[in-house]
Structure 1
Amino acid sequence: MVSYRSHRKPARPGGSWPTRVVLLTAVAGAAAALTPAAPAGASPDDGPGGASSARAAGARIDRLYEEAEKSTEKYNAAAERTAELRKQVEYAQARAARRQAQVNRLRAALASFAGAQYRSGGVDPSVALMLTADPDGYLDKAATLDRIGSRQHEKLTRLRGAQRSLKQQRAEAGMKLAELERRRADLKRHKKAVQKRLATARKLLDELTPEQRKERERASRARGRGDSVSPGGGEASSNRAAAAVAAARSAVGQPYVWGAAGPRSFDCSGLTQWAYGRAGMSIPRTSQGQRSAGRQVPLSQARPGDLVIYRDDASHVGMYVGDGQVVHAPHPGAQVRYDPVGMMPVSAVTRP
């Protein structure tokens, strides 16, 4: 009898289909147990690129802008001092040059006198002494020789005074020049610090979506709207203050550029200085200097034209324009604009 082999394949080890289902379920359960549980209340927004990370990036951008603004005001102070020193150096060098010309004239006069002596039969020893490089020593020697006349004495005294003054003025110019070089080094250092922080902030901004950037800007401008202190008066304290307000309003829409003081771009203290300059009043270049540029008044008594100083270190300034608003140059990438007076902590209100 011929036997026929079955065409069915032998069963693989591992059990039946129900057994495999049980095993797969067990493996899935073990994997779930090894996966960290999401925190309660977590949402997809908490992942990379979500709302939570956008808020963290926005907070860091704000800190970078604040630090950059502090460095900007240090840069402005160094630039102001550098400009003053440059003028002082030029003045000191001009004085030294004039004094040198006087010394040259006096020595030429003495040389002319010596020439006349030579033509008349030889140079008198007293005249030879007068032409030495040591006028003080000459006087002592001339007194011993008893050969100095009143006119020669007067000429030599003037030469001696001119030489002393020249030496002093050269030393003064040298000291100021050395300080100027130190200030220039400070300028470079503060500029580098500003640029580094702004570059980091720009990189973070570029990582945000357009909607996240808009939301960050909306949140930034909404700060302070619930300020419990209501600023006062609707009229400027003086005609100059009114003119400064008009100038500040005319700058609305111009771009923020750090270190700029108008008329096409501004940083915070550059705007307020420019506005008061247009009104015919000179105020300091930095926000720290502007804090002390007049009489301080309570925020509740603020009037248009008053300078509102922000943060304990006075690193930001705006101009109060009434209706609870200031005009200010906020930060890079923004334009001069209106914002609530309580947008950040107010440290002082100054009336120039």
Structure 2
Amino acid sequence: MNRRRGGMTLGLLCAMAVLGAPGLAGTAYAAPEPPAARTAPGKSLEQVRKEIEDLYRQAGTATDAYNQAVADTKRQSDQIVALAKQIAAGQDRITVLKNRAGAAARAQYRSGGLPPAAQLAMSEDPTRFLDGADRLRQGEKATADTLSELNKTQADLEQYSKDATAHWQELEANRVKQETAKNEIEKKIKAAEELENKLEAEEKARLLQLEQEAQYQAQKAWLNTGALKDVKGAATDAGRKAVQYATAQIGKPYVWGAEGPDGFDCSGLTSQAWLAAGKGIPRTSQEQLRLLKKVPLKEMRPGDLIIYFDDASHVAMYVGDGAMVHAPRPGRKVTMAGAGSMPIKAVVRPDA
């Protein structure tokens, strides 16, 4: 068997092992027709599976919105803190400038506040007066500079205050988005769990089989397109470190909004894996798609991120040989699966 063919087979075998699907020596495993869910009259268990899957998909989309709102809230909060420091420093500077201007005014008062011509007329020593006049001009310039800086600092403070108000309003708006997304996540997960909890133990086991079968069939169809035919990219050092981190998390539960160490959501896993490799990347799958470099599928290499679904609501890390590691959904654990077991939207590269 040549290397290319072997790579494709290894990818499929990897997906088989992970998904618990049958081997290649025969047709794809076809689960026996399951009975209709007892608690859902008129619906087959496959229909129930798709309904549950759709609810978790919606929860995943809301999770991405929640994570983005959290990131935006933190950024706005940091900017408000920075502006507060600038305002405090500006107020201290104004105090210093006012004291300096006051000292200049008091000095002029002590000199009688006479104009230079009058002082020249009253002076018995013109040379001494000229020296004093020069110092007076320097003092006047310093006073003018002080007043100019004072005005600029006051203008800066006004702008800082406006900026802080704007950031505060954005902070509050992001908090509202965060709470809205959280409620949406909890609602969708609760609905999915209620559907699943109505099933008997045997039906739950069949449901898992159907889930694995759907992923197996999707992976098999993807491989049959020859998608991996030209994929030969080797991981960089950073990519290997990212893969090592991600695969070390296998078995830990999916927890929405989590970035470890005890649980992860999908983008929490990929962002933390690359952080462990020394590269900070965006927190959400949608931002990872938007900001990281897109690469053609044929150039995919271990460590690259695979973005799934049209709304970019899921992300996984490619580990090679047609497999990926990801945090699937609530109720599941970090695992390896076939890279083509879900609809691929794009491949992005953190260390481009």
* Correspondence 1:97 to 2:88: yes
Tell me how far apart the structure 2 counterparts of residues 153 and 73 of structure 1 sit (CA, whole Å).
55
> Which of residues 270, 273, 296 in structure 2 aligns to 1:272?
270
Q: Map Cα deviations across residues 297-348 of structure 1 (whole Å, 9 max, x no partner).
A: 3434432212111111111111111232111000001100011112111111
> Which of residues 178, 186, 197 in structure 2 aligns to 1:187?
178
Counterpart for residue 206 of structure 1? 197
The CA deviation at 1:296 is: 3.0
The CA deviation at 1:153 is: 2.0
Check 1:187–1:112 CA distance in 2 against 1; reply closer, same or farther (3 A cut): same
| Aligned residue pairs, count | 286
Check 1:47–1:304 CA distance in 2 against 1; reply closer, same or farther (3 A cut): closer
Moved more, 45-54 or 337-346: 45-54
Check 1:88–1:311 CA distance in 2 against 1; reply closer, same or farther (3 A cut): same
> Which of residues 246, 249, 272 in structure 2 aligns to 1:248?
246
Q: Map Cα deviations across residues 83-113 of structure 1 (whole Å, 9 max, x no partner).
A: 1111111111111111111011212233344
The CA deviation at 1:234 is: 6.4
Instruction: Check whether the contact 2:46–2:210 (CA below 8 A) recurs between aligned residues.
Output: no
Counterpart for residue 48 of structure 2? 57
Answer with 1 or 2: which has the greater Rg. Answer: 1
More contact order relative to length (CA 8 Å, sep ≥ 6): 2
* Correspondence 1:236 to 2:234: yes
* Correspondence 1:225 to 2:219: yes
Instruction: Check whether the contact 1:254–1:265 (CA below 8 A) recurs between aligned residues.
Output: yes
The CA deviation at 1:181 is: 1.2
Q: CA RMSD in A?
A: 2.6
* Correspondence 1:337 to 2:335: yes
- SS state of the match for residue 149, structure 1? helix
The CA deviation at 1:175 is: 1.2
Check 1:68–1:50 CA distance in 2 against 1; reply closer, same or farther (3 A cut): closer
- SS state of the match for residue 35, structure 2? helix
Letter aligned with residue 219 of structure 2: R
Instruction: Check whether the contact 2:49–2:210 (CA below 8 A) recurs between aligned residues.
Output: no
> Which of residues 175, 185, 189 in structure 1 aligns to 2:166?
175
Instruction: Check whether the contact 1:240–1:280 (CA below 8 A) recurs between aligned residues.
Output: yes
The CA deviation at 1:292 is: 3.9
> Which of residues 55, 58, 65 in structure 2 aligns to 1:67?
58
Tell me how far apart the structure 2 counterparts of residues 47 and 241 of structure 1 sit (CA, whole Å).
44
TM norm structure 2:
0.74
Counterpart for residue 146 of structure 2? 155
Tell me how far apart the structure 1 counterparts of residues 193 and 310 of structure 2 sit (CA, whole Å).
26
Moved more, 240-249 or 104-113: 104-113
Instruction: Check whether the contact 1:287–1:309 (CA below 8 A) recurs between aligned residues.
Output: yes
Counterpart for residue 38 of structure 2? 48
- SS state of the match for residue 339, structure 1? strand
TM norm structure 1:
0.74
The CA deviation at 1:199 is: 1.1
Q: Map Cα deviations across residues 201-222 of structure 1 (whole Å, 9 max, x no partner).
A: 1111111112222222222233
- SS state of the match for residue 226, structure 1? helix
Counterpart for residue 297 of structure 2? 299
Identity %: 36
Tell me how far apart the structure 1 counterparts of residues 37 and 272 of structure 2 sit (CA, whole Å).
46
* 1:65-144 equivalences in 2 (<5 Å): 65-114=56-105, 120=110
Counterpart for residue 325 of structure 2? 327
Instruction: Check whether the contact 2:233–2:300 (CA below 8 A) recurs between aligned residues.
Output: no
Instruction: Check whether the contact 1:107–1:159 (CA below 8 A) recurs between aligned residues.
Output: yes
Letter aligned with residue 176 of structure 1: H
Instruction: Check whether the contact 1:304–1:320 (CA below 8 A) recurs between aligned residues.
Output: yes
Tell me how far apart the structure 1 counterparts of residues 147 and 40 of structure 2 sit (CA, whole Å).
86
Check 1:109–1:168 CA distance in 2 against 1; reply closer, same or farther (3 A cut): same
Tell me how far apart the structure 2 counterparts of residues 307 and 299 of structure 1 sit (CA, whole Å).
11
- SS state of the match for residue 327, structure 1? strand
Check 1:44–1:287 CA distance in 2 against 1; reply closer, same or farther (3 A cut): closer
Residue segments in structure 1 that go unaligned for 5+ positions in a row:
1-42, 125-147
Letter aligned with residue 38 of structure 2: P
Residue segments in structure 2 that go unaligned for 5+ positions in a row:
1-32, 115-138
Instruction: Check whether the contact 1:54–1:208 (CA below 8 A) recurs between aligned residues.
Output: no
Moved more, 314-323 or 214-223: 214-223
Letter aligned with residue 285 of structure 2: S
Instruction: Check whether the contact 1:292–1:350 (CA below 8 A) recurs between aligned residues.
Output: no
Letter aligned with residue 321 of structure 2: D
The CA deviation at 1:351 is: 2.6
Q: Map Cα deviations across residues 256-288 of structure 1 (whole Å, 9 max, x no partner).
A: 000111222110111111111111111111111
Tell me how far apart the structure 1 counterparts of residues 322 and 52 of structure 2 sit (CA, whole Å).
26
The CA deviation at 1:293 is: 4.5
Instruction: Check whether the contact 1:46–1:53 (CA below 8 A) recurs between aligned residues.
Output: yes
Tell me how far apart the structure 2 counterparts of residues 111 and 205 of structure 1 sit (CA, whole Å).
77
